[in-house]
Structure 1
């Protein structure tokens, strides 16, 4: 078994490696990419900016920081780099040493199996760098939903607040599956609607027999196109990976107008969500149980609605004001979008043919509990 200071060009059994260019690793400060043949995947990230830091989230129980060891006398890589896990410092390491790439610079094991937020920062004014991160083979590095639930691999094991990877592959037609066989996670803004794009997000259990995606899965797609693909009202769907569980893959319901204080329809935004008030967006996203959200987090850390509005099934009532401020004189061609900016109750109607990278499809899977 490799230990700190060893060169490790591939993850050991029981570990899984993520490259520094993974789109869910956040670099705070001015970072550059250094091409280097013997680095993992041929490059590593570094910064000479004081205070620069690296942050990411994992679901797992162990962590290794992989980077380049280098003589301090030649280049001032930090000799006091701290690793914080959930706000607590768990390790301090130095890059100083004989020149060696893909070195285990730090290792933390024995964490509770679950979601952990990682921060790497130099305590001195020297440079910081990262080549790769190793975690549990069954774990995930990414935008893990901030629920108090747990990562699951089978729907039948899920409780409210649990989540499961869900794969989308943009082909003709689109392909779906319950897996994260690709280490590419879908951005919080969704995949571009381009053939060949693929990745995974998470479906969160919000009620018996109902899973809702933690983000928009595909952007730049019209309501009309989703309807043609039978992804508005939905299509029967099953997955061999899910032990024969069958259900309907569809869009969420979001209401047809604003709601007023009496839970009736209104053409004025009273910041009370949408009518009818039992629509799925308000019932399951806006009112997601507080005790199912991690302390210090918000519902946006669970469903990421700030990034992009979501197409809903509904046709808006005549008179609903659109995002352009114009009152719709005919509601027959307007469809509901929900969630945007800082307000989860945000509601708007727009023409069904509308396409934008700022609007997309959020998968919902409805099934019968067994």
Structure 2
């Protein structure tokens, strides 16, 4: 995996990150030239990575990239995550100025068995065709759920290392598969670091579900645990069984994906606004734009010896879309043009139509979150 060449550490939790640290994030491209994408499985690196110039327009591509911490509450992708998409399409999806409907990262990965791809799902009992991992497979319909061979029981997920969970969701059963009476009614969520000694984190009593209803439960938790267990002490009336479609474990990190700002004019050698309609290779103006602040001026002391800025942010041969529209003195059609950055030099600036689509223009995610 081409990890960013910073002197920081690979982290599994956003809350542990310092400037220069990085964390893995998975992406999937769902559309062709649209901005249809999803980000998930934060903190689970693997060998299947996004190309350094991003996914092309082929659909259903999946891979991992890294988010580097550059400031308090700000993580910037170490590469363009996908190309062959226009600024207009990104903006229509909210990925330029901030995707407002973003949900917190679900800490549990999409499980394909009780032990793959990461961690371990287990339960007090399970039906052979409805195993514990099926409550973590992110499949909500059909015969894809966990079912215990008793009216009460527990289901748990074991992380590879401690995670701080402060929110979880339960999704009830599809009535096309079972009666709503099989859903949990009373339960506790518990945490442990050895699988034997448990701390009760949240208690719910007298709950009921409509078909495929998702309930989100929030609680206060300051501790990291490797094991989290949902201990169901009563179901909604069915004799002999209890079941659950999905269980998601989440942290308290809430934020938005967006793009960097990149300036609205070319800068001159003094860092002032240039009247030129040609890039002078001194970056963009005003200099407080995020591309220059976080990428061009990334601290040299946080780059590994013998490595370069491109080994951290992989800016060569691809432009990253930014939020900004150029000033009138640069472009005659100002409302239809934008200011991508990078490609030939880290300071590089380009005037580009917001509708342009090409393999050398792409989306570099920024994750902005509230850090206390």
Q: When the two structures are superposed, what TM-score results if normalisation uses the length of structure 1?
A: 0.57
CA contact (8 A) 2:11 2:43 kept: no
Which residue matches 2:17? 158
Q: Is 2:103 the partner of 1:240?
A: no
Partners of 2:270 and 2:348 lie apart in 1 by 18
State the Cα distance separating 1:271 from its structure 2 match: 2.6
Partners of 1:202 and 1:181 lie apart in 2 by 9
Query: Paired residue for 2:86, among 222, 225, 228?
Result: 222
CA contact (8 A) 1:293 1:302 kept: yes
Query: Paired residue for 1:174, among 26, 29, 37?
Result: 37
Q: Which has the higher strand share?
A: 1
1:274-329 alpha-carbon deviations (Å, 9 max, x no partner): 01100000000000001000111111110000031101011111243xxxxxxx32
Gaps spanning 5+ residues in structure 1: where?
1-141, 321-327
Structure 1 segments of 4+ aligned residues over 4 angstroms from their partners: none
State the Cα distance separating 1:180 from its structure 2 match: 3.7
Count of residues in Structure 1 that have an aligned counterpart in Structure 2 = 221
State the Cα distance separating 1:261 from its structure 2 match: 4.0
CA contact (8 A) 1:179 1:200 kept: no
SS at match of 1:204: strand
State the Cα distance separating 1:265 from its structure 2 match: 1.9
Which residue matches 1:347? 349
State the Cα distance separating 1:264 from its structure 2 match: 2.8
Query: Paired residue for 1:330, among 326, 330, 333?
Result: 333
Which residue matches 1:88? none
Which residue matches 1:117? none
Task: Please give the residue correspondences for 1:193-342 in structure 2 after superposition, counting only pairs within 5 Å.
Answer: 193-236=57-100, 237=102, 238-241=104-107, 243-268=251-276, 269-320=279-330, 328-341=331-344
Gaps spanning 5+ residues in structure 2: where?
108-249
CA contact (8 A) 1:186 1:199 kept: yes
Partners of 1:182 and 1:198 lie apart in 2 by 11
CA contact (8 A) 1:319 1:330 kept: no
Q: Which moved more, 1:270-279 or 1:344-353?
A: 270-279
Judged with a 3 Å threshold, the aligned counterparts in structure 2 of structure 1 residues 288 and 219 are, in CA distance, closer, same or farther, namely same
State the Cα distance separating 1:197 from its structure 2 match: 0.8
Partners of 1:244 and 1:220 lie apart in 2 by 33
Partners of 1:193 and 1:227 lie apart in 2 by 17
Q: Which moved more, 1:236-245 or 1:144-153?
A: 236-245
Which residue matches 1:29? none
State the Cα distance separating 1:182 from its structure 2 match: 5.5
Query: Paired residue for 1:367, among 350, 358, 369?
Result: 369
CA contact (8 A) 1:309 1:358 kept: yes
Root-mean-square deviation (Å):
1.5
State the Cα distance separating 1:235 from its structure 2 match: 1.2
Q: Which has the higher contact order (CA 8 A, sep 6+)?
A: 2
SS at match of 1:253: coil
SS at match of 1:329: coil
Partners of 1:147 and 1:220 lie apart in 2 by 28
Q: When the two structures are superposed, what TM-score results if normalisation uses the length of structure 2?
A: 0.57
Which residue matches 1:22? none
Task: Please give the residue correspondences for 1:124-143 in structure 2 after superposition, counting only pairs within 5 Å.
Answer: 142-143=1-2
Task: Please give the residue correspondences for 1:27-46 in structure 2 after superposition, counting only pairs within 5 Å.
Answer: none
Partners of 2:253 and 2:338 lie apart in 1 by 31
Task: Please give the residue correspondences for 1:39-58 in structure 2 after superposition, counting only pairs within 5 Å.
Answer: none
Partners of 2:25 and 2:368 lie apart in 1 by 14
SS at match of 2:10: coil
SS at match of 2:24: strand
Task: Please give the residue correspondences for 1:61-76 in structure 2 after superposition, counting only pairs within 5 Å.
Answer: none
State the Cα distance separating 1:156 from its structure 2 match: 0.3
